[in-house]
Amino acid sequence: MTTTTNNNLWGGRFDGTPSPELTRFSRSDPRYFAMAPYDLLGSRAHVRELHRSGILDANELDRFLESLDAIESDVATGTEQPTPTDEDVHTFLERLLIERMGPDGGKIRAGRSRNDQAANDLRLYMRDKVRTITSQLIMVIDALTLQADQHLETPAPGFTHLQSAQPVVFAHQLLAHAQPLLRNLGRFQDWDHRAAVSPLGAAALAGSTFALHPEISALEMGYRESAENSIDAVGSRDAAIEFLFVCSLTLIDLSRLCEEIISWASQQFGWIRMNDSYCTGSSIMPQKKNPDIAELARGKAGRILGDLMGLMAAVKSLPLAYNRDLAEDKNAIFDAVETLDVTLPALAGLVATFTVNNDELARQAEAGFTLATEVADWLAVRGVPFSEAHDVSGALVRFCESKGFGFDALSDDQLASVDVRLTPDIRAVLTLSAALEARSGFGGTAPARVAEQLQRLRNNLEPIRVWATAPSRSDGVTSDV
């Protein structure tokens, strides 16, 4: 009888054992062994498929399922751990199975390959983690809406080109960060729908002689369906790339929020005061209160973008079907998941606990002639072509700048000296409240409109919140791997 002299899932064709250099280079990253619960889930589905095909009888199926359950328990408690000779998680778990069941444990390898196992493990892992990420991202949105609820009528300066432009309510500015995050939640759900396709049963690339009903296994693992093409099932990684894209876009959107928080908390802006429990200090300057959470999150956006680019580069021009280059997928996905896992709760806490300097916001909301557009609009309502009204408003700004005061200090004669059409009635629109109320169209910054926006956003969050807490499977695998 021919046997191999190592724990690898291959070797019968080879004369001798792998070199130490190959073993070291080929062995999975230690983090990858965290895929054990997902690999075991796939193994349960596979042995049921072997039973359906007649490879396993009912007693053998029961033995396999009992052994797989026991292995999962022992791995979870740390009773069983990988050894240096276990090349990957698949080798590790099959070794345990054979140790417990004897040679019969090797029957599990019939009709499957590490190619479809690896693709399946990663897809199950991502579908599990996407719900955790969604719940944590909802925490950030909840923090933004909590702050917005308190500032539906707080005037603030709105910017373009980082220059004071027009007044807005601060809630509108906060919700401008919540809206893209809500879209990203939708992208995660859309991704999950596309990713709910099982690659198990594709085997190495051509499908399986024994796993003839992978569509049944797919349903058992919580998928919608099985892959249409076995080559595509093991050779593609678009699901991982798309997952990384949404993670990257989420962090990019968060980095813009972080940039604003850093500015708002500065002495120069003075808009917010961060809670001490979400800040750090300086080792040399005692007075410092640093926005480390915002800065760290801003930096991590670039890191995950690098993971996305790295995986796309690894996949580019790869021939079908499976190539070992695809092992880079797990490193990128793990990094994104672990990064979001520490970033999102910290950022949610920072946003939820900062306090707002309403008086300073209101003071700055009117500074820099942010009401100049009101002058042009007021003239346009009275029949003046807007291009001409724009010039008159600009001239009024120049006049005030030359005198060193704002619109509120203008006398009737000074208004008329700039243009006779600037009558005293214009003062009714040259207030923050009037400017805010005037933007009453859908999506505008009028307080009533912003309150409606806030309520719609909260309503839209509820079904996503429910989806995030629903299990992606019914097997008992938890999300805390």
The string of pLDDT tens digits covering residues 244-287 is: 999 999 999 999 999 999 999 999 999 999 999 999 888 888 88
Q: What are phi and psi of 351, to 5 degrees?
A: -70, -40
Catalytic positions: 161, 282
User: What confidence score (pLDDT) does residue 480 get?
Assistant: 41
Each domain of the chain, given as residue ranges in start order, spans 20-110, 118-204+234-363+453-469, 372-430
Same fold, 20-110 and 372-430: no
| Total-model pTM | 0.92
User: Across all residues in the chain, what is the average pLDDT?
Assistant: 93
pLDDT category of residue 75 using cuts at 50, 70 and 90 = very high
Q: What is the pLDDT of residue 29?
A: 85
pLDDT tens for residues 174-190? 999 999 999 999 999 99
pLDDT, residue 8, reads 64
Q: CB of 138 within 8 A of CB of 351?
A: no
In this predicted structure, what is the pLDDT of residue 304?
Answer: 97
Judge: domain 20-110, CATH 1.20.140.10.
no
The pLDDT of residue 202 is 96
User: Pairing mode, if any, of strands 272-273 and 225-226?
Assistant: unpaired
* Residue 25 scores a pLDDT above 90: no
Beta-carbon neighbour count of residue 40 at 10 Å? 23
In this structure, the number of other CB atoms found within 10 A of the CB of residue 313 comes to 11
User: How far apart are the C-alpha atoms of 337 and 314, rounded to whole Å?
Assistant: 19
What percent of the chain has pLDDT above 70?
Answer: 95
* For residues 393-419, average pLDDT: 96
User: What are the angstrom distances between the C-alpha of 380 and each of 4, 140, 386, 391, 444?
Assistant: 87, 42, 5, 12, 19
- Separation between Cα atoms, residue 45 and residue 225, nearest integer Å: 14
Question: Is pLDDT larger for residue 285 or for residue 144?
Answer: 144
- Which pLDDT score, from 0 to 100, does residue 80 have? 97
pLDDT band at 26 (very low <50, low <70, confident <90, very high): confident
Task: Tell me whether strands 197-198 and 225-226 are parallel, antiparallel or unpaired.
Answer: parallel
Rounded CA-CA distance 393/397 in Å is: 6
- One of 3.90.550.10, 1.20.200.10, 3.40.1280.10, 3.30.460.80 is the CATH number of 118-204+234-363+453-469, namely 1.20.200.10
pLDDT score for 476? 41
Per-residue pLDDT tens digits for 314-330: 999 999 999 999 999 99
Q: Does domain 372-430 have CATH number 1.20.1640.10?
A: no
Flag whether pLDDT at 3 surpasses 60: no
Instruction: List, for residues 179-223, the tens digit of each pLDDT value.
Output: 999 999 999 999 999 999 999 999 999 999 998 999 999 999 999
